[in-house]
Structure 1
Amino acid sequence: MTKKFSVTIAGGGSTFTPGIILMLMENTNRFPVGEIKLYDNNMERQQILGEACKIMMQERHPAIKFSYTTDPKEAFSDIDFVMAHIRVGLYEMREKDEKIPLKYGVVGQETCGPGGIAYGMRSIGGVLEILDYMEKYSPNAWMLNYSNPAAIVAEATRRLRPTSKIINICDMPVAIEGIFADILGYKSRKDFIVRYYGLNHFGWWTSITDKAGNDLLPKLKEHVNQFGYASNTEDFQHKAPSWIETFKKAKDIYALDPTTLPNTYLKYYYYPDYVVEHSDIHHTRANEVIEGREKEVFGMAKKIIAANTAKDASFHTGAHATFIVDLACAIAFNTKERMLLIVENNGIIENFSKDAMVEVPCLVGNNGPEPLSIGTIPTFQKGLMEQQVAVEKLTVDAWIEGSYQKLWQALTLSKTVPSASVAKQILDDLIVANKDFWPELQ
């Protein structure tokens, strides 16, 4: 008899939750699911999505047990996987992460620069709490974590829970590879074999071939040199304006090293002046999400509840959901699928810190990821990565030690921040904004 897996989605009140549920349902032929539980510590948000998804599941997949709860024991008992995507502080705090740095002429972004550091200081405790619940109630389960900022969270779990069965992932490379497929006219990113290295939101593709071994980089580079990552597909045209601008900016990021293709987030480190100049302190990406995805997803959920049917309802499923199902399958069935994951370096990149958390291709099976060797990397990338790794390590130091000094150092070292004095001003404002979330700093 085929095993049916029990999955807990931690962050059940997230707008991404319905998409993950739908993706799990669309893939039951390869990843059989017997039970889905939602867990969140915010009952108000989760109840809306939970009730809507309950109606949808009863109508479309009545054989699959579905529930939602704020009780950790109920949520994490007798499960095989935790799919975690929490946002400590919700979008109210994301807005502050973005707007406080902009006040001082510094990049305001949720995972990069001061905003990413602030978010990381909130996320560490939340991720550790969920990991501990899982290990207490289901010690054999795996936690597939894509709670941001993934780099800081990965460093914290490496140091504070070194033996835990957690895999830290990011869907941004997956989304970009989907654009590569659109540009080249391929059906899916899964038609590619890629070589990639870096840190989370901080990496480069060095090779992209098809399954027959044909080199696809030259044609991609020709396109990127002219248009960045913009494509002519309908899906691309429907992206939020800030994302369209980000994908087009890849043209300028690529110019710094035309031997590779860059992760789009590098724009915040290469061109922080440009980013600030083109930012609106009164209307940031957080506001776009609140007015867009938040409104759409919760609006749809309320419509389902009011009608007591999901017959004509639909939620979007994206790369975010697809990737996590692929990862669960690889672990459950020992497929050795090749995936980009965040893992401890330990010699994967020969001329880089052994204890850095790097993002590289891995073969994934039931024992977790098996990283593939990268070799040595160029001075340009190595220098950038060493600076950013130091920022991430100092942030985790600050959280563990309650150290104001270490967090000031982290902000000062960030490539997005121009000076220690500006770093201190931003830090002091962030401390006030995060008084309910950060450990007390001395």
Structure 2
Amino acid sequence: MKKQSIVIAGGGSTYTPGIVMMLLDNLDKFPIATLKLYDNDPERQGVLAKALELVLKEKAPDIAFSYTTDPREAFENIDFCMAHIRTGQYRMRELDEKIPLKYGVLGQETCGPGGIAYGMRSIGDMIELIDYMEKYSPNAWMLNYSNPAAIVAEACRVLRPKAKVINMCDMPVGTLRRMSQIIHKEPKELTVNYFGLNHFGWWTSVRDTEGHEYLSEIREYVAEHGYLTQIEVDTQHMDQSWQETHKKAKDLLAVAPEFLPNTYLKYYLYPDYVVEHANPEYTRANEVMAGREKQVFDAARKIVATGSFREGDFHIDNHALFIVDLARAIAFNTGERMLLIVENNGAIANFRADAMVEVPCIVGSSGPEPLCQGTIPTFHRGMMEQQVAVEKLIVEAWVEGSYQKMWQALTLSKTVPSAKVAKELLDELIEVNREFWPELH
């Protein structure tokens, strides 16, 4: 197998060590010649990179490792860019979550006004990364798992329609792992059908390798317990706020009991519940900064201070194993079946062709080939039509610098109660995002 050359864009992310550990744990399936980190924040990236340099010296000294803030150095001679950037970092995420709550609207990283604000910040930086890759390594692929993935994917479709970019999300993978615990199977034994938008979809089938269908069995469990399981199946989604989200799935199922819901639908079906249970002084951003952010950077500083890596300092990011599967599928034409965000073009038969939908795809060296999911019911289609219109208006607002379309996007969002509240929110979001958003007029 050819050894691959990779750049991780967002080298200063708290997820970077887990991704690197996961890559190192899978070198037999996906060998690596060169691994580079790229970030526009040299200080933040440097803390993690110095620690990871020691990790690679101990665990995989044959891999050429480097880190940089220079685009040419980062993107030259690569096969893959794995992108997980956060424009504005956690200080802006905190505002995304806290500003809407002042108006009685939910504050969330990827959904509602917070997600819209984050999306407007992300578009320019994502397009910049794509352009770097196409300039310095035109044959490379970008595997993008930067949030908010739905808005980023729509921006890629509009602004760089021919770019070799695959947008994806780990959330369905994490939930499938919980389903596998419910029915006492391994996730790799299960094949799913699914339709929706990113953070906005439903499972219509969960089958094992022998063709046995588990949808009804899982549905009965979720109707009583949500996706809560007795076994800790990942490290990312175990905080109390996530546990409440997993539990709330039983109420999502009650609204539309035919299919198994993505947990993020709670923000659209029960926004009042989310607001009632939110603490405006301490949101998920604060939880992450006090938790994963502190843990990862403390571990990095400890590794550098001691000059050596011990197992457990950085944890393997098992939930992100799908990144290796996706890269392998492209590099070695494996025909892996995966849930990805792609242009619809008939994958959902009775839904608009130009929507960026999340559906099962077969992935090979030419990229993803969506699998047809047939027609979907009126309720699900109606919700999706509303949400995809929001996402399209956001990208149009970014491209055109249109205040009007941003106001329309916020007004149309199911999380915002009125055009009046939408305008008040928009005006405050513009003020705090002036260094990141294009000027709206």
- TM more than 0.5: yes
Contact 2:178 2:233 in 1 (8 A): no
**Structure 1 residue 311: Cα displacement:** 3.1
**Residues 312 and 168 of structure 1: is their aligned pair in 2 closer, same or farther, counting only changes over 3 Å?**
closer
Instruction: Indicate the residue corresponding to 1:204 in structure 2.
Output: 202
Q: Do structure 1's residue 25 and structure 2's residue 30 form an aligned pair?
A: no
**Structure 1 residue 182: Cα displacement:** 1.2
Q: Do structure 1's residue 368 and structure 2's residue 349 form an aligned pair?
A: no
Whole-Å Cα distance in 1 between the matches of residues 252 and 320 of structure 2?
A: 27
Contact 2:105 2:271 in 1 (8 A): yes
Query: Hey, which bits of structure 1, 4+ residues long, moved more than 2 A?
Result: 234-238, 311-314, 316-321
Instruction: Indicate the residue corresponding to 2:439 in structure 1.
Output: 440
Secondary structure of residue in 2 paired with 1:140: coil
Contact 2:401 2:440 in 1 (8 A): yes
Whole-Å Cα distance in 2 between the matches of residues 394 and 305 of structure 1?
A: 46
Contact 2:234 2:318 in 1 (8 A): no
Instruction: Indicate the residue corresponding to 2:137 in structure 1.
Output: 138
Amino acid at match of 1:432: E
**Residues 114 and 23 of structure 1: is their aligned pair in 2 closer, same or farther, counting only changes over 3 Å?**
same
Instruction: Indicate the residue corresponding to 1:336 in structure 2.
Output: 335
Contact 1:300 1:313 in 2 (8 A): no
* Structure 2 unpaired stretches of 5+: none
Instruction: Indicate the residue corresponding to 2:217 in structure 1.
Output: 219
Whole-Å Cα distance in 2 between the matches of residues 321 and 337 of structure 1?
A: 15
Q: Do structure 1's residue 175 and structure 2's residue 174 form an aligned pair?
A: yes
Whole-Å Cα distance in 1 between the matches of residues 379 and 162 of structure 2?
A: 33
**Structure 1 residue 362: Cα displacement:** 0.2
How much is the aligned-residue C-alpha RMSD, in angstroms? 1.1
Instruction: Indicate the residue corresponding to 2:126 in structure 1.
Output: 127
**Structure 1 residue 347: Cα displacement:** 1.2
Contact 2:201 2:262 in 1 (8 A): yes
Superposed CA deviations along residues 27-74 of structure 1, whole A, max 9, x for unmatched, are: 111111011000000001000000000011011111111000000000
2:193 aligns with one of 195, 203, 220 = 195
1:228 aligns with one of 222, 226, 229 = 226
Q: How many residues align?
A: 440
Q: TM-score by structure 2 length? A: 0.98
**Structure 1 residue 313: Cα displacement:** 4.7
**Structure 1 residue 321: Cα displacement:** 2.4
Contact 2:249 2:261 in 1 (8 A): yes
Contact 1:168 1:341 in 2 (8 A): yes
Whole-Å Cα distance in 2 between the matches of residues 343 and 13 of structure 1?
A: 28
Whole-Å Cα distance in 2 between the matches of residues 174 and 235 of structure 1?
A: 11
**Structure 1 residue 234: Cα displacement:** 3.7
Contact 2:22 2:318 in 1 (8 A): no
Secondary structure of residue in 2 paired with 1:289: helix
* Structure 1 unpaired stretches of 5+: none
What is the identity percentage for the equivalent residue pairs of Structure 1 and Structure 2?
Answer: 65
Superposed CA deviations along residues 258-285 of structure 1, whole A, max 9, x for unmatched, are: 1100000000000000000000000000
Contact 1:174 1:319 in 2 (8 A): no
**Structure 1 residue 12: Cα displacement:** 0.1
Secondary structure of residue in 1 paired with 2:280: coil
Superposed CA deviations along residues 325-382 of structure 1, whole A, max 9, x for unmatched, are: 1100011111111000000001111111110000000000000000001111100000
Q: TM-score by structure 1 length? A: 0.98
**Residues 82 and 248 of structure 1: is their aligned pair in 2 closer, same or farther, counting only changes over 3 Å?**
same
Correspondence 1:35-434 to 2 at 5 A? 35-186=34-185, 188-235=186-233, 239-434=238-433
